[in-house]
């Protein structure tokens, strides 16, 4: 991808202010679920900006989670799911008997989060809660429910706020999409 392609105009869907406000609401919803011995697990890479903001909103709501990361891959460089999920880098903490909050950017086919949820449940987590920034409701291929959802996502390939297309646009402080020419 050339530098001009990396700086194409991106149409704003959700601006920074709206995201920040929604993060504060999500933190309150998470508190209401009364998590115990909470470990937050951010699914890399797409969720890193969202997770960074959400854990600080959670602090504001009185929570003090342990923070962990897992790197899963199903997409590689394509914009269509390959259907195969693999662990590229695992968490470093014990989840047995604890509440887990999985954080991801987008719930689409559901394969990524279904895989992660099953993995952590199999390791003995007390509860595995799922929080996603965006949900694409009409794209589900497997049965999975998100406990907390930031926004319903229109049927665009979105970028920004940690999300990429071919490794570009993660740095944008808002969520947007690239309009067709
Ligand atoms: P699925 O739910 O297993 O299909 O995978 C969802 C994952 O696909 C997300 O965590 C993203 O990494 C990626 N993804 C899906 N839709 C988009 C998009 O519109 N923009 C960027 N990444 C996306
Ligand atoms: Mg992802």
DSSP state of 116: H
Instruction: Measure the CA–CA gap between 6 and 10, rounded to whole angstroms.
Output: 10
DSSP state of 154: P
Q: Which residues pair with 106 in a beta bridge?
A: 134
Q: Which CATH code for domain 3-175? A: 3.40.50.2020
pLDDT tens over the chain, length 181 residues:
677 667 789 999 999 999 999 999 999 999 999 999 999 999 999 999 999 999 999 999 999 999 999 999 865 545 555 668 899 999 999 999 999 999 999 999 999 999 999 999 999 999 999 999 999 988 888 999 999 999 999 999 999 999 999 999 999 999 999 998 7
* Domain spans, the chain: 3-175
Which residues line ligand 1 at a C-beta cut-off of 6 Å?
46, 74-75, 81, 104-112, 157-158, 163
Q: Is the dihedral of CA 162, 166, 168, 173 positive or negative?
A: negative
Query: What is the pTM assigned to this prediction?
Result: 0.93
Q: Whose CA is nearest to atom 13 of ligand 1?
A: 106
């Amino acid at each position: 991808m050339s530098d001009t392609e990396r700086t194409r105009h991106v149409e704003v869907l959700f601006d920074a202010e709206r995201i920040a406000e929604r993060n504060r609401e999500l933190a309150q919803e998470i508190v209401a679920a009364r998590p115990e011995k909470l470990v937050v697990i951010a699914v890399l890479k797409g969720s890193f900006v969202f997770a960074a903001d959400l854990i600080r909103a959670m602090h504001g709501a009185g929570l003090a989670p342990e923070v962990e990361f897992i790197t899963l891959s199903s997409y590689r460089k394509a914009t269509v799911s390959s259907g195969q999920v693999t662990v590229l880098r695992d968490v470093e903490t014990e989840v047995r008997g604890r509440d887990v909050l999985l954080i991801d950017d987008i719930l689409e086919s559901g394969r990524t989060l279904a895989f992660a949820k099953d993995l952590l449940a199999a390791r003995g987590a007390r509860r595995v809660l799922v929080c996603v920034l965006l949900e694409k409701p009409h794209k589900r291929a497997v049965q999975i429910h998100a406990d907390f959802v930031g926004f319903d996502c229109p049927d665009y390939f979105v970028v920004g706020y940690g999300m990429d297309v071919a490794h570009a646009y993660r740095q944008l402080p808002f969520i947007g999409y690239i309009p067709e020419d």
